[in-house]
């Protein structure tokens, strides 16, 4: 809410003509740049840029105990930190509600889509399972950290391989990797956050647009043959019309294929680089 | 096995019994209890009152602050007392669900505190909390443009069910369970809360929203009835 009223008014005036400060269409993302394998000691990692917004995500694997209600399923713990280095708005200390909410949106999309086959992460039923630590950090906040975090999370998971596990001594040989990938399915969750500014919907807001946003709706869509909605979160204190929500649903399904294609390309680029 | 009959025998579009009571916490400026079957939420409203610490004050308008939590023994497996990531998120979405209806611009530098506590839980706790909070706000005499009502719509296997219970939330056969808590405003029909967890086609999602709108009209009637009752008593 740090945008001046003057800037907000200008943003609205532009929107009314279907225009944005950086000449994008209302439902057009900034340039999406994805790089996999950006941190050597992580089991998987990715850096995602949406224009000037940048986040980095890493996957670490540990052996832990399963939850009592799912004794044969691995576990996932998602954390998001908005680093003070990425914006003067963020302060040191434990995650605040904005970071907590973002982590929960990322987590829900990944979990509910069935993207991870948790049962294949079981080592010994009731005793030992793999725990996936999915940690995401903001590096530069130029708006839309939620979508950037979700993208980075999915890409880091796609990049991840198991570390070597010494079965005799029952410990992980950290730093040594196998070539075995995480058990993932084709249901890649794509989370898109639609913002509402004065009855106009837009995607991927720049910082000042996000400040002017009255409400947002994050929606995670996965496509395994057919499109499925896996998670929704409405944010901020303005309400949506039913019509607007229906429009968001339709557009999210369309847009998810586009973003899915970009993810596939970066995974392929990483595979090629590994072989070379 | 397809989900053809609900665990508790209700029709697919039937809510659990709704119970309401206004004025359950005499100390508060407004308070209410709202219950869907075994889920019971109480809410208390204090304010508008000067906001401390002072740096949180907004000199242009009053603000609303919500805290949602559950009693440790309100669930089958004891909940560790104190805020969790889940309860902090629910507090925030509750605040957002209530924000569009309250008109406290005339009270700069103040806060309206909304405390929601779940005393007994069997799914839909955030929705019961929002319903109770809205009634408590009304009793406290906070200026409001309209009311808000919330309900949890589920998709259990391929069936759209209204006001789902824990057993349905945990349903794993067929298409599994999808939980969609939502809130509708009483006059404008706008949506101030929408969350989803699970797996649903875009078409079924739209169907669920329509079902939620219908259910919220019913809930709104119950809320109004309870408020009218307390007004007559005084």
The 10s digit of each residue's pLDDT in B100-129 is: 999 999 999 999 999 999 999 999 999 999
Q: Residue B41: how many CA atoms within 13 Å on its side-chain side?
A: 27
The model's pLDDT over A169-228, given as tens digits with 9 standing for 90+, comes to 888 988 889 999 999 999 999 999 999 998 899 999 999 999 999 999 999 999 988 999
Question: Which member of B88, B185, B194 has the closest CB to residue A100?
Answer: B88
Contact A233 B192 (CB under 8 A): no
Test mutation, A234, A238, A253, chain B, max B CBs within 10 A: A234
B7 within a domain of the structure (yes/no): no
Question: Which member of B93, B192, B205 has the closest CB to residue A239?
Answer: B192
Phi, psi (deg, nearest 5) at residue A178:
-90, -175
Contact B192 A113 (CB under 8 A): no
| Mean pLDDT, residues B56-80 | 90
The model's pLDDT over B142-171, given as tens digits with 9 standing for 90+, comes to 999 999 999 999 999 999 999 999 999 999
B93 within a domain of the structure (yes/no): yes
pLDDT of residue B230: 86
Test mutation, B56, B187, B190, chain A, max A CBs within 10 A: B190
Contacts of A96 in chain B (CB under 8 A): none
Q: How far is the alpha carbon of B102 from chain A, nearest alpha carbon, in Å? A: 10
pLDDT at A253 over 90: yes
B10 within a domain of the structure (yes/no): no
Contacts of B195 in chain A (CB under 8 A): 231-234
Distance of alpha carbon B172 from alpha carbon B154, whole angstroms: 13
Q: By residue range, what is the domain housing residue B78? A: 18-233
Contacts of B192 in chain A (CB under 8 A): 234, 237-240
Contacts of A99 in chain B (CB under 8 A): none
Decide if B74 contacts B120 (C-beta within 8 A): yes
Please indicate if any CB of chain A lies within 8 Å of the CB of B117: no
Decide if A197 contacts A214 (C-beta within 8 A): yes
B208 within a domain of the structure (yes/no): yes
Mean pLDDT over the full length of chain B: 94
pLDDT of residue A171: 87
Test mutation, A224, A237, A243, A250, chain B, max B CBs within 10 A: A237
Question: Which member of B99, B188, B209 has the closest CB to residue A237?
Answer: B99
Q: How far is the alpha carbon of B234 from chain A, nearest alpha carbon, in Å? A: 33
B1 within a domain of the structure (yes/no): no
The model's pLDDT over B15-60, given as tens digits with 9 standing for 90+, comes to 999 999 999 988 899 999 999 999 999 999 998 999 988 899 999 9
Q: Residue B114: which CATH number?
A: 3.30.230.70
* Domain total in chain B: 1
Q: What pLDDT band is residue A275 in, cutting at 50, 70 and 90? A: confident
- CA angle A127-A129-A134, nearest 5°? 145
Q: What pTM was computed for the model?
A: 0.87
Contact B201 A230 (CB under 8 A): no
B4 within a domain of the structure (yes/no): no
Chain B, window 75-104: residues with a beta carbon less than 8 angstroms from a chain A beta carbon: 85-86, 88-89, 92-93, 95-96, 98-100
Give the chain A residue whose CA is nearest to the CA of B184.
A239
Distance of alpha carbon B105 from alpha carbon B91, whole angstroms: 21
Contacts of A245 in chain B (CB under 8 A): 191, 194, 209
pLDDT at A1 over 60: no
What letter would DSSP give residue A149? H
B2 within a domain of the structure (yes/no): no
What chain A holds in terms of domains, given with CATH numbers, is: 5-275 (3.30.230.70)
Is ipTM over 0.90?
no
pLDDT at B201 over 90: yes
The model's pLDDT over A225-244, given as tens digits with 9 standing for 90+, comes to 899 999 999 999 999 999 99
B9 within a domain of the structure (yes/no): no
Distance of alpha carbon A42 from alpha carbon A45, whole angstroms: 6
Query: DSSP letter string over A101-141?
Result: HHHHHHHHHHHHHT-B-GGGGEEETTTEEEEEEEEEEEEE-
Give the chain A residue whose CA is nearest to the CA of B58.
A1
pLDDT of residue B233: 81
Classify burial at B82, counting beta carbons within 10 Å of its beta carbon; exposed 0-12, middle 13-18, buried 19 or more: exposed
Matching residue, tokens 């998670």: A231
Work out the number of other CB atoms within 10 angstroms of the CB of residue B206: 16
Question: Which member of B196, B202, B209 has the closest CB to residue A231?
Answer: B196
């Amino acid at each position: 809410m740090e945008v001046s009223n003057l800037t907000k008014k200008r943003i609205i005036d532009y929107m009314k003509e279907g225009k944005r400060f950086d000449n994008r269409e209302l439902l057009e993302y900034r340039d999406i740049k994805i790089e996999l394998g950006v941190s050597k000691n992580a089991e998987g990692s990715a850096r995602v840029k949406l224009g000037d917004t940048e986040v980095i995500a890493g996957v670490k694997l540990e052996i832990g105990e399963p939850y009592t209600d799912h004794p044969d399923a691995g576990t996932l713990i998602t954390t998001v930190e908005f680093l003070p280095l990425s914006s003067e708005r963020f302060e040191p200390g434990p995650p605040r509600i904005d970071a907590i909410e973002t982590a929960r949106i990322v987590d829900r999309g990944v979990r509910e889509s069935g993207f991870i086959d948790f049962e294949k992460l079981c080592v010994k039923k009731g005793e030992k399972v793999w725990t996936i630590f999915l940690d995401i950090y903001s590096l530069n906040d130029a708006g839309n950290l939620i979508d950037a975090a979700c993208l980075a999370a999915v890409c880091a998971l796609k990049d991840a391989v198991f570390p070597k596990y010494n079965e005799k001594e029952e410990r992980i040989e950290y730093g040594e990797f196998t070539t075995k990938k995480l058990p993932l399915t084709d249901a890649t969750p794509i989370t898109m956050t639609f913002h509402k500014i004065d009855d106009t919907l837009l995607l991927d807001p720049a910082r000042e647009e996000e400040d002017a946003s009255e409400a947002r709706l994050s929606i995670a869509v996965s496509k395994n043959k057919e499109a499925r909605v896996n998670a929704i979160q409405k944010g901020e204190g303005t309400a949506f019309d039913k019509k607007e929500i229906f429009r968001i649903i339709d557009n999210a399904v369309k847009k998810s294929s586009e973003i899915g294609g970009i993810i596939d390309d970066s995974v392929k680029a990483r595979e090629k680089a590994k072989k070379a | 096995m397809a989900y053809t009959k609900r665990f508790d025998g209700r029709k697919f579009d039937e809510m659990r019994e709704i119970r309401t009571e206004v004025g359950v916490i005499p100390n508060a400026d407004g308070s209410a209890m709202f219950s869907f079957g075994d889920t019971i939420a109480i809410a208390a409203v204090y304010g508008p009152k000067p906001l401390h610490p002072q740096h949180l004050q907004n000199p242009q308008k009053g603000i609303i602050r919500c805290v949602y939590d559950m009693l440790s023994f309100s669930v089958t497996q004891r909940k560790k007392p104190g805020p969790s990531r889940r309860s902090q998120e629910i507090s925030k979405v509750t605040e957002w669900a209530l924000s569009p209806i309250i008109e406290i611009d005339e009270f700069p530098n103040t806060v309206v505190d909304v405390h929601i506590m779940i005393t007994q839980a069997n799914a839909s706790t955030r929705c019961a909390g929002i319903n109770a909070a809205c009634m408590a706000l009304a009793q406290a005499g906070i200026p409001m443009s309209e009311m808000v009502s919330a309900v949890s719509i589920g998709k259990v296997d391929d069936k759209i069910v209204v006001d789902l219970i824990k057993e349905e939330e945990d349903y794993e056969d067929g298409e599994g369970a999808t939980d969609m808590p939502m809130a509708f405003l009483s006059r404008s029909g706008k949506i101030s809360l929408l969350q989803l967890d699970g797996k649903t086609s875009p078409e079924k999602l739209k169907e669920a929203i329509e079902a939620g709108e219908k259910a919220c009209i019913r809930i709104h009637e119950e809320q109004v009835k309870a408020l009218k009752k307390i007004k007559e008593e005084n």
